[in-house]
Amino acid sequence: MNLNKMRKRVGTEAIFSLLLMSWSCDPSPTPSTGRSTDFETIPQSFPITPGIIDEASGIAMSAGMAGYLWTIQDSGQPNSLYLISPDGKAIKQFPLPSTVNHDWEDLAVGGGPKADVNYIYVADIGNNNAPMTATNIIYRIPEVADMNGSFKQSDLEKITFKYPDGARDAETILVDPTTKDIFIISKETDKTGIYRLASPQSLTETITAERVGSIPSVFFTTGGNISVDGNEILVRTYLAVYYWQRKTGETVGQTLIRAADKQLTVAFEPQGEAVSFDRKADGFYTLSEKGTANGVSLNYYKRK
C-alpha cells in the first residue's frame, strides 16, 4: 500500500491493530519441529539508505544467493525486483519485463512446475481502491542465478485468478514448498480469508480460487512466509507477527484456520508490510515502507 492509500485507511487500521496487541496466543505450543518457538524481541537492525526501496511491500530470501533477500515495491513504483544484501548496505535493481505494477503487495520464493528450479512469485493482489478489479495476477519466473543475471521475458509466467466470493484486497502470498499450492490471505477487518490456488496452476485461463477458511483473530494482514521445510508459518500485520507450527499431516489451510500458536513481539515500524524466515529458519526478517519516516531498517529476529 502506498502512502496516499495509507492516509485513507491508516486511522481505522491502527485502531484495530492496537486492539490486537491485547490478544494473547497459547504461550507454550506443543513443539513439532524440535526447535524453540521463541524469538528475540529486539532485532538486529540494518539501516536502508532512503531513495531506492522506500515502498517495500514484501520480502523473501533468495534461494541461490546466500543471505540475500528479494523485495518489491507497490503501485506507482518500477516493475522491478530488488536484491538486498544481509547488512542492508547493497541494493540491486532487476527489471521484470512484460509486467504491470497495478499494486504489487507480496512475493515468495519457492518451487514450481519444473523440478529443481527456484521460482519467484510476485503477487499483484492489492485491491483497495474502488472499483475493485475482478481478477488478480501472480507473476512467476525462475530466480536469476547470480547478481550479474537478468530476468528474461520468455521465462515469465502469468497466473490469473479471481475469488469465489467477490473481489478482495490482499497483501499476503504463501507458497507451500511441499505441494506448490499458492495461498492468498485477504486483508480484512474480520474473517480474514484463506484462498488456495492448487498446483499445477493454469497459465491459460482465469482460475477461481478455493476459499478454505479464515484465520481467527488476525486482521489487516500485510505479509507472510512459510519456512523452507514447510513446518512453520508467519503472517504479519502492521504491528505484530503471528506464528504457527504446522502439525504432521496438516495442509497450510488446516494450520491457518486454527488460532496462531504465538503472537511474536516485534519493533514498531512506520508501515510494516513484509516478513520472511531466513533459509534455515534460524530467525526472520521484517521490512517496512518508509511512509513519512526518515528511513527504515531491515530487521532480523534471531530464534532463541
Q: Up-side HSE of residue 179: CA atoms within 13 Å toward CB?
A: 16
- Distance (Å, rounded) from C-alpha 190 to C-alpha 276? 24
pLDDT of residue 26: 44
Could you tell me the three cell numbers for 73?
A: 515495491
Report the chain's terminal Cα–Cα distance, integer Å.
Answer: 32
In 3D space, the residue among 145, 124, 19 whose CA is nearest the CA of residue 72 turns out to be 124
pLDDT tens for 130-155 read 788 999 999 999 999 999 999 999 99
Could you tell me the three cell numbers for 60?
A: 523473501
- Residue 32: is it exposed, middle or buried by C-beta count within 10 angstroms (0-12/13-18/19+)? middle
For 59, residues 6+ apart whose C-beta sits below 8 A from its C-beta are: 69, 70, 71, 84, 107, 223, 274, 275, 276, 285, 286, 287
pLDDT tens for 6-51 read 444 444 444 444 444 434 444 444 445 788 999 999 999 999 999 9
Number of domains in the chain: 1
Buried b (16+ CB within 10 A) or exposed e, 214-252: bbeebbbbbbbbbbbebbbbbbbbbbbbbbbbbeeebbb
Mean pLDDT over all residues of the chain? 91
**Reported confidence tier of residue 76, pLDDT bands at 50, 70, 90:** confident
Residue 30 belongs to domain spanning: 3-302
pLDDT tens for 196-239 read 999 999 999 999 999 999 999 999 999 999 999 999 999 999 99
CATH number of the domain encompassing residue 287: 2.120.10
- Distance (Å, rounded) from C-alpha 69 to C-alpha 83? 6
pLDDT of residue 131: 83
In 3D space, the residue among 166, 255, 250 whose CA is nearest the CA of residue 213 turns out to be 255
Position of cell 537492525?
45
Summarize the confidence of residues 269-294 as an average pLDDT.
96
Identify whether the C-beta of residue 86 lies closer than 8 Å to the C-beta of residue 69.
yes
pLDDT of residue 277: 98
